[in-house]
Amino acid sequence: MADRPVLDVRNLKVAVGGVEILKGLDLTIPFGEVHAIMGPNGSGKSTLAHVLTGRSDYEVSGEAWLDGDPLLVMDVDQRARAGLMQAFQYPVQVPGVGLESFVMEAGEAMGMAASDMREKVSAAAKAVGAGPFLDRAINDGLSGGEKKRSEIFQIVALQPKVAILDEIDSGLDIDAVRDVADAVQALRGPDIGIVLITHYSRILDHVTPDRVHVMMDGRVVDSGGPELADELEIGRAHV
């Protein structure tokens, strides 16, 4: 699957209340690669994540394909079933819904056999260190770092084609960032494309992306290798 695009976005324009946020964005993510998206607040990074996963309060034009299938015409649940998942910047606590039960039911809803899901859940929990909170309600009483690992655990267990990680390092101390980075590393593989949205490069000290894209004013204005993230940090330090 190497070099085959799992996510292909062309001339994506997005507005809210007539105010344009994304202004003709192009982005291609191949299977097996991690692409970091960086840029200042207000550049449209989170808007991109919300639009791709199906948030409805946007005016959207342009095209996007998920493994060759048109994405923007799908409902939210269809996008999930087709293999698109998002880890949120601010994970929601869901009292009364157990994390393991939720992931098991989600897998079965996607057509996975219960026996296969039990194996996937066990392997994913071990890979990202989710065992201690597997039998608790989703994000109930968890620290910031644990909530982010819980989000990634769900993705590892459900094995989507595209994972969008929206600022999963925000609000975390150095040790928690390292733990979350280890969880992201467990997610990498030849059958998934990862979009890692981040404001700072500290998580990229532990997760080396294949490509870095810089967003400004609703567009990708520069792309390059992992060294581009270091150049951005150096530039900020001299502002």
Query: Helices 114-128 and 144-158 sit at what angle, rounded to 10 degrees?
Result: 140
Q: Which ranges of the chain have pLDDT less than 70? A: 1-2, 233-239
Tokens of 139: 């994000």
SS (H, E, C) 103-141: HHHHHHHCCCCHHHHHHHHHHHHHHHCCHHHCCCEECCC
Contact residues for 238 (Cβ-Cβ < 8 A; gap 6+): none
pLDDT, position 238: 36
Spatial contact of 88 and 149, defined as CB atoms under 8 Å apart: no
Q: What is the CATH number of the domain that holds 120?
A: 3.40.50.300
Q: What's the pLDDT score for residue 2?
A: 54
In which domain, by residue range, is 114 found? 5-237
Predicted local confidence at residue 1, as pLDDT? 52
Number of domains in the chain: 1
Q: How far from 211 is each of 52, 139, 193, 225, CA to CA, in Å?
A: 19, 31, 12, 5
Closest Cα to residue 24, out of 61, 52, 71? 61
State residue 237's pLDDT score. 42
